[in-house]
Structure 1
């Protein structure tokens, strides 16, 4: 019999996004919990909820660690409940409906129906990395990629920076199958998850065109990423402050005339992010808005 537990805490929308992007504080837990964030009431857009699924009852130190990741819940009482005998990963995925973004259809293993005709389907299970397609930031990137393809854009060398599950790299590779493709993340677990998802979705790994090269890297600071630059398409679904801090290095890795997709930012942060990249020779060429989470499409000016 399994011994599965669920810990529930309230959180803010910003905390939910930050938690989804950064699971490093949980890396010392064996096994780490599966984290799910949700917006229970659309009329209260900043009142989110964190559900953490554990194999085994979490101790006081683990509960304190989770509470520390959502400071707004410091005065809230954690809700801890033992779950019925069941697969804990399956439980964490219940209620995750498939996402249809542009021509892309993203589903979990619990969705048994056939994808809609004419769609590009990916199976991305909820787990230890961000980017299942459920969040508006990921959806916005998928919609932007779809729009680029519809307008006839062509890319030969692409980078998914902060890849999470690998989904955005997979999507770009399906649209431009002959391109060289690289995906990186600061978290080794994310790169492991990306490799597993690549196998599930029949994405070949390797350094040749039509294959995906994976790298554990802190931003652009990696020999593989430097060797593969410049890129004519960079996708960076991270957070506003890291995007601003890395504006110079990301712009420097983008070829003149290249396209940059930026996401992971709130509507109130979009102007500051765009301004940081304008200072490095990029212009805002398009924007997708999903419930307060904008996705920016920027183009590097040709010299």
Structure 2
């Protein structure tokens, strides 16, 4: 992701934590909801916990930032916990450890559709569900955020109604979870996963090994690429796709609309997430302009997941391969 305009310039490795007291009611209201930070380029990870076992109303909010948070970010954070309006936030730089790993360790497993996602090996895997171990680490997409769980639910629903795909791409793959889920549902498909962040691609490869997902270029295998959007020759060569998944942010989703749709075959499906309720109309308008129509929407808190279908076009003008002029770059953006 690109740098947060509200943060002071820092090296990318610096991690900061902001702590504020809050009430139990405020903590419960924050469960999984970081909508206030969605427009920041580097939103924090929020964690709440009890302060004293014998005082059930005493809680605290901890926000983990990549880079030192500026005044605007602190103001947004305080707005989430009105009881701390007169309290000065405790701001501290963390040691040289991975801020995403620290903030996500011990997260509760998530169930979305037929999928169970855990981040600790000791968490039991329920019978009847497809379980993935996605350890807390250097990439987003452990399943806890509404955008990821909404995509899992959408994929499961698509399979349940009989939809079938043979060539799948997950753009902005993060941890690889959504690509893995799609491969489980359609095991005879070709699968492509890419991310602008090479760390995410490395994490995806490791997660594939842990979860028994074969890596490679053949049927039932996942091919991994580091790419800004779809700006990679191999991604173009593997097109057209009949299913594209993009769980990123509203800005890059709009910017990538022409290139993503150029990679999609006629009648193909795109699943979009990472956008807020108030951003959905703008995102859908960008894709309608490329010949897409909204087929289904799942609302998961403030975070909708959209399924769109490409309208067939008649005649020799229909595209079969990626338009070389549609580079599909969204510089500075990573995945959730």
TM-score (ref. length: structure 1): 0.79
Query: Does the CA-based 8 Å contact 1:286-1:296 persist in structure 2?
Result: yes
Q: Structure 1 CA distance, aligned partners of 2:94 and 2:279?
A: 39
Q: 1:112 aligns with which of 118, 123, 128?
A: 123
Bigger-Rg structure (1/2): 2
| Partner in structure 1 of residue 68 of structure 2 | 66
Instruction: Give the superposed CA RMSD.
Output: 3.1
Q: 2:46 aligns with which of 29, 32, 37?
A: 37
Query: Does the CA-based 8 Å contact 1:258-1:299 persist in structure 2?
Result: yes
Q: Structure 2 CA distance, aligned partners of 1:192 and 1:278?
A: 34
Query: Does the CA-based 8 Å contact 1:98-1:111 persist in structure 2?
Result: no
Query: Does the CA-based 8 Å contact 2:105-2:119 persist in structure 1?
Result: no
Q: Structure 1 CA distance, aligned partners of 2:102 and 2:253?
A: 34
- C-alpha distance after superposition, 1:96-131 (max 9, x if no partner): 110000000000125432x22210100001121110
Q: 1:77 aligns with which of 89, 94, 100?
A: 89
Query: Does the CA-based 8 Å contact 1:229-1:253 persist in structure 2?
Result: yes
Instruction: Evaluate the alpha carbon distance shift between residue 91 and residue 278 of structure 1 in structure 2; reply closer, same or farther with a 3 A threshold.
Output: closer
| Partner in structure 1 of residue 190 of structure 2 | 180
Query: Which consecutive segments of 4 or more residues in structure 1 shift more than 4 A?
Result: 9-12, 14-19, 87-91
Query: Does the CA-based 8 Å contact 1:9-1:73 persist in structure 2?
Result: no
**Residues 1:102 and 2:113 aligned together:** yes
Q: 1:13 aligns with which of 15, 34, 53?
A: 34
Query: Does the CA-based 8 Å contact 1:145-1:172 persist in structure 2?
Result: yes
Q: Structure 2 CA distance, aligned partners of 1:88 and 1:140?
A: 24
Report the count of equivalent residues: 266
SS at match of 2:68: helix
Query: Does the CA-based 8 Å contact 2:275-2:303 persist in structure 1?
Result: yes
Q: Structure 1 CA distance, aligned partners of 2:104 and 2:121?
A: 7
Query: Does the CA-based 8 Å contact 1:93-1:110 persist in structure 2?
Result: no
TM-score (ref. length: structure 2): 0.71
Q: Structure 2 CA distance, aligned partners of 1:39 and 1:139?
A: 20
Query: Does the CA-based 8 Å contact 2:18-2:64 persist in structure 1?
Result: yes
Query: Does the CA-based 8 Å contact 2:183-2:191 persist in structure 1?
Result: yes
- C-alpha distance after superposition, 1:153-187 (max 9, x if no partner): 11000000000000000000000011000000000
